[in-house]
Structure 1
Amino acid sequence: MNKSLIATAIGAALSVSSGACLAAAPADWSQISAMDVTLFYPGVSPVEWVTKGVEHGGARALKKGERCADCHSEEAADIGQLIVSGEKNEPNPPAGKAPAINAKVQATHDGENLYLRFTWQQPAASGGAKMDETNPVKIAYMLEDGNKVELAEQGGCWGSCHMGVRTMPEGDAQKTKYVKGGSLADGVFFDLNQWRSGENKAYDGYVAEQRVMEGGTALQGAEGKNDNGNWSVVFTRKFAGGEGDVSLAAGKVYNFGFAIHDDSSDGRYHHVSLGLTLGIDAEADINAKAQ
């Protein structure tokens, strides 16, 4: 069996997990409220494009403090269709790429651990090249505290997406995601958690002056399940952590965004959410209430 088939078989297993002993996530997620989120294909739409008024009409609104979601939440799927077709911001349209993925996000906590659950239906395979044969699916989310990262409050993880990174058309092959003025010591960073289906492994890292996929201690693990094309991934994360971990506390709101790499895609060829907020017993787009 070749590597691609092995990875697909692993990713399609009924239940896969990482983390030998996770805290107890809710037994019945149907009792936890869910937010519907449309993730769309962004193409070549880095922060430099987003903030440049001659190319992006919403740049002026951003300068006034408005969020990307204020203008685009209802048209995310249409934006994805426009870009994936090659009509705008995509010089290399991936054949058969889904323009958008509709996902649900649920969150709760037990006073010590945050539980995040993401569910979505897997789009049809594109038939295009497999950039990451090992991992048919990857899902990641970012947290930011204090609005120290430029654009984090308005655009979520867009603050880490730059024209010069390695998978952009004219990017530096050695350059990872980063944030302007990134510094762990100064609190200018995104906390990054990722789960990879084929590796069946969860990563606890951060994005500051560069992207680092390890070093954090808050993430306890992740469990993923693919039931006939219906994906469910649950992250378990402690409130307190270490290097590159945002500390969580009741009553606080954090900037939040997530992305799904579907169909063995990699780099910028993913589906992304607009910037959201996550609250711990606090009013936000997604409110993690105590169990």
Structure 2
Amino acid sequence: MKKTMIAGALGVVCAIGFSAAHAAPPADWSKVAATSITLFYPGVSPMEWITKGTEHGGARALKKGDTCADCHSDETDKMGQLISSGEKIEPTPIAGKAGFIPVKVQAAHDGDTLYLRFSWKQPKASGAAKMDDKNPMKIAFMLDQGKVAMADQSGCWASCHKDSRTMPGAADSKKKYVKDGSVSGGVFYDLLQWRSGEKKGFDGHVADTRVMEGGKALASAEGKLDGDTWSVVFARKFAGGEGDVALAAGKTYNFGFAIHDDHAAGRFHHVSLGYTLGIDAKADITAAKQ
């Protein structure tokens, strides 16, 4: 597909360019409603931890059907500060690492393409060694169509396990995965990511393992750092291919996102709780047709 510039969009490099037939994202994002979501540093809190009642008090609420956001949406900043300091579930704290990142999320669509815009103030660098020397920042979001177990309660946590790489004692070769993951069976997260250093977007999925390519839905991913403020815009087609969740008006999807700030890699990121994304449908974040 021939790459072209997107009028009015932020950033200059696309993962996969728009064709001339595609409409541009909203020309004035200030007219699109924004949802404030605070990402927090999760430390060592894999799925096995949050479902173990002897270690996580909310395990009983999860078994009753409550969501992580039901209990924690108003305290993610405090949780992040507590964990990043090493006071709880972080055996190797990083001095100076931000405990949380407040982010504004905006969504819109044109009947064919979903546009998601994330904006936030870049936290102060910790000064720690660079885990990913190529990328000062990475941002990713995941979608589930209702088939990943507990994705509706825990967001992205269903892909986070104690034996995944960068977890204490885990093999470096073990990537993220979901229980009973199967692309053909629809049991997977649709994963899209943008990397600031490589200035490139990725369209993959998480099923029995994480794959960073192969998706056909990502139309573009662009980012820009203006002073100390990041803005990243994803354009994602409703229809895709294998490993892409098909989007449709009137439907809602389980949604979560993460930012790898300060050259972070693996679990050393900031994450959201689980939310819902609606296409012309009531949800935590609603993409209305423009």
Query: Per the shorter chain, which TM-score range?
Result: over 0.9
| Residue equivalent to 2:12 | 16
| Residue equivalent to 1:255 | 254
In structure 1, C-alpha distance between the alignment counterparts of 2:169 and 2:51, rounded to whole Å = 19
Residues 171-214 of structure 1 deviation map (CA, whole Å, 9 limit, x = unaligned): 12110000000001111000000000010110000000000000
| Residue equivalent to 2:244 | 245
Does the residue aligned with 2:128 lie in a helix, a strand or coil? Answer: coil
Matched residue type, 2:93:
P
| Residue equivalent to 1:282 | 281
In structure 2, C-alpha distance between the alignment counterparts of 1:243 and 1:38, rounded to whole Å = 31
Residues 80-110 of structure 1 deviation map (CA, whole Å, 9 limit, x = unaligned): 0110011110000011100000000000000
Question: Which runs of structure 2 are paired with 1:41-52 in the superposition (5 Å)?
Answer: 41-52=41-52
| Residue equivalent to 1:55 | 55
CA positional deviation for 1:21: 2.7
In structure 1, C-alpha distance between the alignment counterparts of 2:239 and 2:288, rounded to whole Å = 17
Q: How large is the RMSD of aligned CA atoms in angstroms? A: 0.9
In structure 2, C-alpha distance between the alignment counterparts of 1:173 and 1:269, rounded to whole Å = 14
Matched residue type, 1:90:
E
Question: Which runs of structure 2 are paired with 1:133-212 in the superposition (5 Å)?
Answer: 133-146=133-146, 148-212=147-211
CA positional deviation for 1:170: 1.3
| Residue equivalent to 1:39 | 39
In structure 1, C-alpha distance between the alignment counterparts of 2:266 and 2:100, rounded to whole Å = 17
Matched residue type, 2:37:
V
Matched residue type, 2:18:
C
Matched residue type, 1:227:
D
Q: Which region of structure 1 is more displaced relative to structure 2, 15-24 or 240-249?
A: 15-24
Matched residue type, 1:216:
G
Matched residue type, 1:235:
F
In structure 2, C-alpha distance between the alignment counterparts of 1:170 and 1:271, rounded to whole Å = 21
In structure 2, C-alpha distance between the alignment counterparts of 1:150 and 1:53, rounded to whole Å = 18
Percent identical = 67
Give every structure 1 segment of 4 or more consecutive aligned residues whose post-TM-superposition deviation is greater than 6 Å.
none
Relative to the length of structure 1, the TM-score reads 0.94
Question: Which runs of structure 2 are paired with 1:224-235 in the superposition (5 Å)?
Answer: 224-235=223-234
| Residue equivalent to 1:116 | 116
Does the residue aligned with 1:82 lie in a helix, a strand or coil? Answer: helix
Q: Which region of structure 1 is more displaced relative to structure 2, 254-263 or 18-27?
A: 18-27
CA positional deviation for 1:243: 1.2
In structure 1, C-alpha distance between the alignment counterparts of 2:118 and 2:12, rounded to whole Å = 15
In structure 2, C-alpha distance between the alignment counterparts of 1:166 and 1:240, rounded to whole Å = 32
Unaligned runs of 5+ in 2: 1-9
Matched residue type, 1:254:
Y
Matched residue type, 2:78:
D
